[in-house]
Amino acid sequence: MNFKKKFKYRFDQLLSKGTISLVFALFTVTFVAVVLIGLVAYWITKSPDSALSMIWASFMKTLDPGNLAGEEGTFFYIFLMTIATIVGIFITSILISIISSGFQTKLENLQRGTSQIIEKNHTLILGWNDNVPIIVSQLIEANKSVKHPKIAILSEQDMMETYNALKQLVKSFHNTKIIIRTGSLFDKSSLETCAIDSARSVIISDIDDAKIVKTLLAIKQTSFFSDTKTGHVTAIFTNQKTMRLAQEMCGEKLVALHLTDSTNRIMAQTCLQPGLSLVYQELFDFCGNEFYFYKNSQLVGKTVVEAINMFNDSILIGVHKNKKTIINPDKDMVISEEDEIIIISEDEDKIFLNGNQKMQYEDKMVLTPHIKTRPLRNILSIGYNCDTFRVIAELFPYVQKGTHVKFLVPQDLNERLFKEITNQDLIEYDVVQGVTYERETLEAIDYTNIDTIIVFANSHDNGERSDSETLLTVLNLKQIEKERKFKASIIIEIEKNENEFILKYASVDDFIISNVLANKMLCQISENKHLREVYQELLGDEGSEIYLKHVEDYVILNEEVDFYTVSKSAVLKNEIAIGYKKKSLSENGGIVINPKKDEKILFSHGDCIILIAID
């Protein structure tokens, strides 16, 4: 290899090393040129000044071309100083270009989101999809009382695109600092760029089980899973077997949720109890009342029935005893020193032992025992998706034999799919096929005796299209209801969170946004991993659940009472009262969670008590 090729190769390597190496090389060239010109000038001009003086003069001409004006000396001296000035002009120009280019490169790197995060105790969200704005908005709400909260997002998309999309959907970040980085969820270096080792919690936003497992394997390569780290990972799985596999792989570091059955159960129960989803939305939302774990020495030795009325602004719903969560515990259970009680409260700072044990309206209690009820229902199910039959199946434990379901489904749906329903002796059914949102199809339905209408999203693949069809269906139903003068509860399924406000104007009795409920629970668990046990109890197929029951089974109608009276009446039936639903209230569907127990209430026919009960 000749000298020219070697020099070109070395020069190319130098250019590829970046700004610092180029600046260093430039200073080296400047130094050599200044010294060389100074020494040549000293040797040719036979100057009486020292060699260092000539080098200094050369250096000054290099730095400031204006110093050459008015310069006197021999021809060779002026010629050499002119060369020094020209060298200075070229070097200065190149230096400015290099610094400008380096600064531009640095800005581009920052905009690409590849720089290292040095935050600590932050929440790290992995992935970018429709769930992330919901998660971020919930965390922002939770962080309002926290000092200098931070949320980091690792997205596979461009950082600026991600930021602009997030800013469009989450209008205000309040006091929360949002940091976005671009990289692969499966790359160790990308995870470490987001300071995953120092994160307080990690949320995997994806809903694809395979990608979740792959992401967990990548996280395991970092020190986040070391015993010295206290953070945990939260994720939602669609397959229970995959969730168990991931749980075995990650141990206690993973707090996993399987919500397909739970959200179907919420929708099924909401069909029978309109308003129930609003209860879940408030309990899972950081804006309203939430679940807290609480300890106080004054509760030690008290029974559950005694402890319930020790709170005026909060509601005791359970006990965490011997590392086990017990919701709706036996009223005679004694609270020990090691126990934590589970509280519904507006805020952790608002939990006080300020209750009143004196019962003012004890004579207004209805002392009949707990009543098991299974209604006989006539249900119209409109639309079809992969969860429709699962929701209907969830109705079976709560309805009486002989319940009838009429299915209005798209025309291209094969009736053999209904074999699952025909195998059930509990319900009767018939099927109508047609365009589920067209007026002609809806008018052909016989609405005689129908008490509940469920409108399912026709497809989970195109949420905007499904929600538009749902809105059209509801508007047509409302018009038909008005013309034929019948009344039925209408419950709808919404795919897109941003369509909630539009569909509220349709005046439905209740609505379900399953992905919103799921992500709200995910956020709650990311803040407190012990809440998973509470949700598993409330949303499981066994144990205590949330119900709306007729108020006349608990207190006398049309007579003034307080919520202490309601709570005591419920406890005597082995239930926990957490609120009420008044038909005269329009705000939030008439739902009131965690009312002040000393406020006077006048209940009337049609009002309900919201309870945690076995059935």
SS (H, E, C) 450-463: CCEEEECCCCCCCH
Confidence of residue 14 (pLDDT cuts 50, 70, 90): low
Tell me what pLDDT residue 506 has: 63
For residues 343 and 326, give the distance between their C-alpha atoms in angstroms, rounded to a whole number: 12
- What's the confidence (pLDDT) of residue 508? 64
Query: Does the pLDDT value for residue 505 go beyond 70?
Result: no
What is the per-residue pLDDT across 300-325, written as a single tens digit (0 to 9) for each?
A: 999 998 899 899 999 999 999 888 88
Write down the H helix ranges in 297-378: 304-308
Greater confidence (45 vs 348) lies with: 348
Write down the pLDDT at residue 74: 65
**Long-range contact set of residues 81-89: C-beta below 8 Å, sequence gap at least 24:** 81/37, 81/41, 81/57, 83/37, 84/33, 84/34, 84/37, 84/58, 85/61, 87/30, 87/33, 87/37, 87/62, 88/61, 88/62, 88/63, 88/64, 89/65
Residue 111: its pLDDT value, please? 57
Question: Between these two residues, 560 and 511, which has the higher pLDDT value?
Answer: 560
pLDDT digits (tens, 9 = 90+) for 554-611: 999 999 999 999 999 999 889 999 999 998 887 777 899 999 999 999 999 989 999 9
The pLDDT of residue 59 is 65
Q: Does residue 110 register a pLDDT over 60?
A: no
pLDDT of residue 276: 83
- Among 553, 582, 609, 547, CA closest to 270: 547
Q: Using one digit for the tens of pLDDT, what is the confidence trace for 479-503? A: 898 888 888 888 888 777 666 666 6
Rounded-to-integer distance, Cα 200 and Cα 211, Å? 22
Q: Which of the four pLDDT bands, split at 50, 70 and 90, describes residue 522?
A: confident
Distance from C-alpha of 216 to C-alpha of 445, rounded to nearest angstrom? 50
Q: Which residues of 276-313 are buried (b: 16+ CB within 10 A; e: fewer)?
A: bbbbbbbbbbbebbbbbbbeeeebeebebbbbbbbbbb
pLDDT tens digit sequence for 238-273? 888 899 999 999 988 999 888 766 777 778 888 888
3-state SS class at 351: coil
The per-residue pLDDT for 125 is 93
Q: If phi over 0 gives left and psi between -120 and 50 gives alpha, with beta otherwise, what is residue 195?
A: left
d(CA 602, CA 260): 39
pLDDT band at 424 (very low <50, low <70, confident <90, very high): low
Res 91 pLDDT > 60: yes
The half-sphere exposure of 277 on its side-chain side, counting CA atoms within 13 A, is 28
Name beta bridge partners: 126: 154, 204
In the chain, the domains with their CATH numbers are: 3-112 (1.10.287), 123-258 (3.40.50.720), 378-513 (3.40.50.720)
The average confidence (pLDDT) of the chain is 82
3-state secondary structure string across 242-287: HHHHHHHHHHHHEEEEECHHHHHHHHHHHHHCCCHHHHHHHHHCCC
The mean per-residue pLDDT over the stretch 438-467 comes to 83
Distance CA 433, CA 415 (A): 9
Q: Say if residue 388's pLDDT is above 80.
A: yes
Q: Supply the pLDDT for residue 96.
A: 66
Other beta carbons within 10 Å of 401: 12
Model confidence band, residue 196 (pLDDT cutoffs 50, 70, 90)? very high
pTM here? 0.75
| DSSP code at position 368 | P
**pLDDT greater at residue 599 or residue 543:** 599
Q: What is the mean pLDDT of residues 170-185?
A: 88
Most confident of 50-54, 394-398, 417-421, 507-511: 394-398
Coil, helix or strand at residue 348: helix
Condensed to tens digits (0 to 9), the pLDDT of residues 73-82 reads: 666 666 767 7
CB 268 within 8 A of CB 489: no
pLDDT at 7 over 80: no
